[in-house]
Amino acid sequence: MGNDLVFTGKARPHYFLPGNVYDAARKRIRWLFDEFDGKVSASVSGGKDSTVVAELLADVSQELGCGPAHLHFLDQEAEYQATIDYMRLYLDRPDRYKLDWYQIPFRLFNAASYDEEWLYVWDTRLDDSGWIRPKEPSSIKVNDFFTPRGHQIDRFKEVLGAMNQRDGGAILTGMRCEESPTRRVFMTSVPSYKWATWASAGKPKGSYYLFHPIYDWSYRDVWKSIHDNEWAYNTFYDVQFQYGIPLRNMRVSSFHHELSLASLNYLQEVEPDTWERATRRLEGLNSFAHVGEDQFQQRGKLPYMFASWDEYLEYLICKLIPKPENQDKFRRMIVRATKALPQLSHEEVMVSMSAAIMGNDVYGTSVDQWISSNTPAARRYLAGDLTAASTARQRELEQEARSASYAG
C-alpha cells in the first residue's frame, strides 16, 4: 500500500491514500463483514455521526445480501423529542434496519442539579405518567445485565458495554479523530485488531470489538454525506443552527449532560412539551435555565469582591457543591490541571475550572478534554513534531482512550 501514498508537497510531509473517505468507510465495513462472518452491528445515539455509520452499514448489508442493518440504541429518557422522532424512522423501515431500542433502568449523572446527583432513568417506581415520556411499545424494558457477582449493571458506560457484549462481533461507532487529540493519537497509532488502528477491544477482551469506520472524516464530510445521499437526520441540529450554535459544537445528547446544558436556554421555546415534563421529572433544570446563562457570562472575569481566582473558586466550590466528596473532586481537578498545563497562566487555568464548577462537571468530562487538547505533547503531536509514542504523556493518552467506550 505504500506505493499508493500521495505526497502533498507541503513543508511538513502529509500523505493521503487515493480516493475519498466515503468509499474508504464502505470498504472498511465490507472487510468487517468478511472478518466477522456477517456479525456486524452499530451502536446509535441519534447524532449525526452515528446516523452516517447506520446508513453506511445498511447500504453495505443490503449490497452483500445480509438483510437489515442491526442497530442498538440506549434511550436516556431525557432525550429531545426530535431524537425520538428520528429513532422511530428506523422502526418504520424493518426492511433496512433492525433496531434494538433499550428503555431500561440505570443511573445517569444529572449535571443540572447540585443536590440531585442522579437521574434514575426509567425508574421502576414510576410509570408512563411519571417518566418524561411513555415507553415505546416495541422497546426492551427489562435491565437483565448483571456482573459476575450478581449485581445489576446500572451505569451508562457499563450498560452500553453489556449491550455490545450481547451483540458480539464487530460493533460500529461514529467516533472520529477530529473530535480530540486523544482520539487522534489512539486511532492512528496502535492497532487493536490485526492492522486496524481504528478499533478497540471490548471487555472481556475478544467478546466484541468496537470499530470506528469514519474515524478520518471531518464534520464537513459527515454533513456532505447526509446531504448528498438525502439521509434523514435529527432535526434538533436545525434548531441549533438557527440559534447560531457552531457546527462543531452541536450536540444531541441527553439535555442534562454536562456538555449539553447550554441547550436548556432554548429547549422551552423549541420543545415546550418536553420542557414541561422534564422540569417535573428532573431537579435543577428550571433553575439552571434561569441562572445558568448569567453565570457563564461572568466567565473570564474575576468578580470585584474577590481578591484572587483561588479565593473565588473556593467560594464557588463551597457555595455551589453541597457534597464534601464532590468538593474534593473539584479541588483535585484544579491541582491536576495546574500540574498538567504548566505553560498556561494561573488565570487561564482557573477560568476554565470556574466554568467546570458552574457547569457541575463533577466527573471532569470537559476538563479532561480541555487538558488533553492543551498539553504540550498534544500540541506538538498535532503539529507533526512527535511520533505517537514518544512521550510518557502520550502513552497515557493512548491507554485512557483505548479503555473508553463511545456510542457515536
pLDDT tens-digit readout, 325-349: 888 988 999 999 898 888 888 998 9
Please answer whether residues 175 and 390 qualify as being in contact, where contact means their C-beta atoms are separated by less than 8 angstroms.
no
C-alpha cell at 62: 443490503
- At a CB cut-off of 8 Å and minimum separation 6, what does 234 contact? 46, 47, 48, 51, 80, 82, 83, 86, 252
Write out the residue limits of the CATH 3.40.50.620 domain(s) in the chain: 2-225
pLDDT for residue 249: 78
- Record the pTM: 0.74
pLDDT for residue 402: 43
pLDDT tens-digit readout, 170-197: 999 999 988 877 788 888 888 899 999 9
**Helix, coil or strand: residue 118:** strand
Any idea which fold 2-225 has? Rossmann fold (3.40.50)
Checking 176-179 for CB contacts under 8 A at 24+ apart, the result is 176/49, 176/212, 176/214, 176/215, 176/216, 176/217, 176/218, 176/219, 176/222, 177/215, 177/216, 178/217, 178/218, 178/219
Q: What percent of the chain is predicted at pLDDT more than 90?
A: 45
27 versus 395: which is more confidently predicted?
27
